[in-house]
Each structure stands twice: as C-alpha cells, then as structure tokens.
Amino acid sequence: MEIVIHDSVEDMARMAAGIFEDVLKTKENPVLGLATGSSPLPIYAELVRRHKEEGLSFAHAKSFTLDEYVGLPEGHPESYQQVIRNELTTLIDIPDTHVYSPDGGLDDILTAGERYEAAITAAGGIDVQLLGIGTDGHIAFNEPGSSLQSRTRVKTLTEQTRLDNARFFNGLEEVPYHAITQGLGTILDAKHLVLIAIGKSKAEAVVSMVEGGLAASCPASVLQMHPRATVFLDREAASFLKNYEYYNLVFERKPKWQTF
C-alpha cells in the first residue's frame, strides 16, 4: 500500500486524476471504477477540468459505480446512478450507455448482484477503482463483518452509515436501510485501487485500514491484500498513523521512474 499524506486536497486530486488519465491514455477500452460521496468530488472536478481544458477523452471508457441504494424510485436525486451522472459522467464525453450502476430496483434485486458481476467481467474487469472510506471502516457499502471474499450483493447499512449519509437526504428517516454493493472480492479484482480520505472523522478508520490487522471488522483493511493500492490522506485523516513519518519519507524518496 502506498500512503500519500498531503496538506493540499487539490494536489492529491491532481495526483489521483493523473492515475485515471494514464489509464485513459494507455488502454484501448479503459474501465473506470467510480465512487460516490464527498471524498471523490475534488478528483471528479479535476477530471472534468482536464476534459474541458486539455481534451482528455472518456469516449472509449466504461464506468462502474461501486454501489446503489435499494428501493429508491427510478431517477431519485440521491440514487447513486443519478449522483454519478450529475457529478461526473454528464460533464465528460463518456457515452451514457457505458455508465453502469448496480440495479437497486426491488423487482429484480435477487439477480442484480450476479448481473452486475457479469457486466464487469464482460467489460474486461476494472482498471482503476476509486474508493472512499466510511467512518466505520467500510469501503463501498461493505459494512463491518463483510466477508473478505464477498461479491456484489445486498447489505444492511449500519446506523452510523445512515447517520453519516443523512446529510444528503431530508432527514435520517429518508435514508434507505439497504444497499447493493460490489463485494470486497469484487473490489480486490480491480487492477489498481485508489482511496482518498479527508478529515479527522476518518482518522480512526484509516489507522485500522493501514496499520490494523486484516479483519472483516475493518473491511477497508483488505487493501493490505492488494498488490497495487494508493491511499491519499490529508494530515487530519492520517493523524493517528504510527508510521506517519515513514510514509512521508517513502513519498519524498519515491524514485522518479516509479509511477503510482
């Protein structure tokens, strides 16, 4: 796991966007894994800027969102399918038919996980997967206790996650109880994982992810198993890390020839 600790969220967004740009420029049919929530927004803003000002093209890309609430009506403004369109995909040149999300509709919920896995496989697998981390250590909506080998399926949200996400709704009672989410095994299959965490509220989850044991109680700890995981942290999110100085040293001494 490569840990990058930085004061400036803009600088981190530039570095993370650079990883996406490399994939977009080197792969014929790039497959991007997208996250929702607040953490990825600076990266999406930078990708949109590169598209508008520098001509970075997403025309041949496909995107797969990590998760979706179960049971929200089609087109609900807080459905992740809608959020990812508003925040990124309608602002760049990716065809709308290439923007995939798990199907959170109740009609076919029993087959939705399997269908989503099949779509990811048919696209050739995810080249780069963006991730945020929940205050309870979740990635996507793999809440504590999730199997480390899980695939896309329905999970019950913790009350902490519902409370954290109530800010996007008109109150806690509107936040769904369930979500369909890529599993930890699904996420581990992506070729490169890029996680971003900002702020003190993430510090405890971050220290468990990076320096705790590999455990279902901190689903994000599966990043320790991935051969290519890059973690961007601001100083607050990194503040509980025991090896803080060492991570800074590794970054300062990163050889010029070594990319993320």
Q: Where are the alpha helices (DSSP H) in the chain?
A: 9-26, 41-54, 80-87, 109-122, 159-165, 184-188, 203-211, 244-252
- The residues that bridge with 193 in the sheet, in sequence order, are 129, 229
For the chain, count helices (H), then strands (E).
8, 10
Nearest-angstrom CA–CA distance, 52 and 64:
22
Q: Candidates 1-9, 32-40, 102-110, 116-124 — which segment interacts with ligand F6R by CB under 6 A?
A: 32-40
Q: Which of residues 64-83 bind ligand F6R (CB under 6 A)?
A: 66-67, 80
228, HSE (Cβ side, Cα atoms, 13 Å): 13
Listed residue (182, 201, 229, 154) closest to 33, CA to CA: 182
Edge-to-edge, what's the strand order for the sheet holding 67-69?
A: 67-69, 178-181, 153-156
- Whether 136 is a known active-site residue: answer yes
Least distance (Å) from ligand F6R to the CB of residue 171? 17
Closest CB to ligand F6R among 57 and 224? 224
Least distance (Å) from ligand F6R to the CB of residue 252? 27
Least distance (Å) from ligand F6R to the CB of residue 143? 10
- For residue 134, state whether it binds ligand F6R (rule: CB under 6 A): yes
- Candidates 4, 17, 32, 35: give the one binding ligand F6R (CB under 6 A): 35
Beta-carbon contacts of 86 under 8 Å, excluding residues fewer than 6 positions away, are 77
Least distance (Å) from ligand F6R to the CB of residue 161? 6
- For residue 233, state whether it binds ligand F6R (rule: CB under 6 A): no
Catalytic residue among 68, 127, 143, 234: 143
Catalogue the active-site residues.
67, 136, 138, 143
Binding residues for ligand F6R (CB under 6 A)? 35-39, 66-67, 80, 132-134, 138-140
